[in-house]
Amino acid sequence: MADTQFVLASASAARRSLLVDAGIQPFVCPSNFDEDSVVIRDPAQLVQALAQGKAETVAPQFPNALVLGCDSVLAIDGVIYGKPESTAEAIARWRQMRGGSGELYTGYALIAPGREALVRCRMTRVFFANLSDREIEAYIATGEPMHCAGAFATDGKGSMFVEKIEGCHTNVVGLSIPLLREMMAEVGYNAIDFWSR
């Protein structure tokens, strides 16, 4: 158990950075899981199914490792939003979000050696500033929102435009570190044992 590898089944630089900052050096192995194959209207169920699909796609390559899959979406008035597909879509979304709030859902699937996937979800409410059209267009022009669920990043320039967060901050970035610690304990691992690697 002491030499168990930690594998992140995601290409997200933000998730990797959160793990490294928390003392866990992950091996990054993007899953290439077909996200379009999952069609679920409930945001919590959707992100959990996507996270599980990613983890289960990668886990067979690493039978002796802890494998983590994650996925995030933003829900506004019951409508689910992932990464914007165009700048026009990102601008329209920010015009809808400004001055309001949304619910950021992140799903987690952790697979330990010899065990089924442990699947969880965490939701954080995000309150957005009332941006001008100029601010929205300038932010979209940076390219940052194009790589993020909900078209914003709280760990970058988008931090200027988030007025308040209710819940776990790192969940919005892409990975709730406190929840990960709980999940690791649930499958028999202590997160601090990964600090010295």
Q: Pick the catalytic residue: 34, 71, 155, 193?
A: 71
7-13 contacts, C-beta under 8 A, 24 or more apart: 7/58, 7/62, 7/65, 7/66, 7/67, 7/68, 8/68, 9/54, 9/55, 9/57, 9/58, 9/59, 9/67, 9/68, 9/69, 9/70, 10/54, 10/68, 10/69, 10/70, 12/70, 12/174
Active site residue 193: no
Catalytic (active-site) positions: 71
